[in-house]
Amino acid sequence: MKNYLNFETDIKQLEAELENLKDPYNKEGLSEVDTDKITQLQIELDDKLRDIYSNLNPWQKTQVARHEERPKSKFFIDNLFTDFIPLHGDRFYGEDRSVISGFAKFNTTSVLVIGQEKGDSLETRIDRNFGMMKPEGYRKTNRLMRLADKFNLPIIIFVDTPGAYPGVGAEERGQAEAIAKSIECSMNLRVPTISVIIGEGGSGGAIALASSSKVLMLENAIYSVISPEGCASILWRDPKKTLEAATAMKLSSEDLFNLRIIDEIIKEPIGGAHRGSETVLKNVRHSIEKSLNDFSSLSREDIFEERKKKFLSIGRSKGFYSSSRNKDKLISSANFFESMLMKINKINRYIIFITVAILLFATWFYFK
């Protein structure tokens, strides 16, 4: 049974009528299939899908991104890669089932592939913790990313999570520190990293794996620091103001591309990725191939520098630091403060050394 969103009532009726026409056995017994009417109704359905999905507001896009029939990371890993060898554990605590990771072949290229997995049934969703990673998950991916860096292997990541797991146990094991270390690890890699946001890109749980050389995003996916419901509860004290929150947050692929936070929008079929998974698969493959080719002529240091420049430039063309002169000022200011901190630390070491020496001398003089 298909699941329809609350703005798909007309689509539901048309699809039900279409299925009824395609079935020669109706309630009145055997009847002939009316191919002309089926064709006409299919055109009407396509037009309705195109009309609705070309005018989605940000909250409706959030609902599409969360659709339970939307292709998940496991679908992409199973169909885009060959010779996949899963690897488990963070070597500190245990395994995190909410993230799939391992080495594989993309076409003929050996890669590390990572995917946040929500699951596609009640049992698998519980098993996968609904795609919410725990500290051991981030430490596992960090371990494997460093390993891929040693062997000079590209890293391909599928992002799909409502956010990092906020449970007490996760906090006790250092959830915030694990996310921060994941961002640090991602930024310091010397190999190409490509993140594909396929559904929800929620909060630090997504950013930890989307600090990549290239960030690609499916057309109806979302990427934000908080959910629209959470934002509405904080700003408006009303969780029902999800449309206002989603609009203000600019979480859609179009908004994020205009802000230069993502690098490419991957087209979805009419009606969303859940209505044409094979088309989405083809488009994602093409985008990953193109992105990998962009790095083929770059050295390891060039890849690192390009990633650094990309993230340092976010926001500066939108009113913060629009000119290269201002960027140079920012860099020189940062270097000045860094040198000042080093001098202060050096002075502090001298002060501590002198204080200890005075205390030792005073102690010797007292007991003499």
pLDDT tens for 299-335 read 999 999 999 999 998 887 654 444 444 555 555 555 6
Last residue of some domain: 300, 317, 334? Answer: 317
The residue type found at 133 is M
Judge whether 105 lies within some domain. Answer: yes
Q: Are 106 and 249 contained in the same domain?
A: yes
Judge whether 229 lies within some domain. Answer: yes
Residue 1: its pLDDT value, please? Answer: 59
Q: Are 127 and 167 contained in the same domain?
A: yes
Q: Are 362 and 231 contained in the same domain?
A: no
Q: Are 21 and 71 contained in the same domain?
A: no
214-218 and 222-224 strand pairing: unpaired
Cross-strand bridge partners of residue 30: 25
Which residues, 6+ apart, have CB-to-CB distance to 269 below 8 Å? Answer: 275, 276, 279, 280
Domains in the chain: how many in total? 3
Cross-strand bridge partners of residue 109: 106
Q: Give the relative orientation of helices 175-188 and 300-313 as an angle to the nearest 10 degrees.
A: 120
110 is written with which tokens? 């050996």
Distance separating alpha carbons of residues 26 and 23, to the nearest angstrom: 7
Q: Which of 100, 97, 106, 75 is nearest to 87 (CA)?
A: 100
Last residue of some domain: 36, 55, 74? Answer: 55
Judge whether 3 lies within some domain. Answer: no
177-228 pLDDT, tens digit per residue, is: 999 999 999 999 999 999 999 999 988 899 999 999 999 999 999 999 999 9
- Match 């049992």 to its residue by tokens: 123
The residue type found at 51 is D
Judge whether 60 lies within some domain. Answer: no
CATH of the domain at 131: 3.90.226.10
Asked if pLDDT for residue 348 goes beyond 80, the answer is no
Q: Are 145 and 283 contained in the same domain?
A: yes
Q: Are 21 and 74 contained in the same domain?
A: no
Residue 319: its pLDDT value, please? Answer: 43
136-181 pLDDT, tens digit per residue, is: 999 999 999 999 999 999 999 999 999 999 999 999 999 999 999 9
Look up the domain containing 42 and give its range.
Answer: 9-55
Contact between residue 229 and residue 239 where contact means Cβ atoms under 8 Å apart: yes
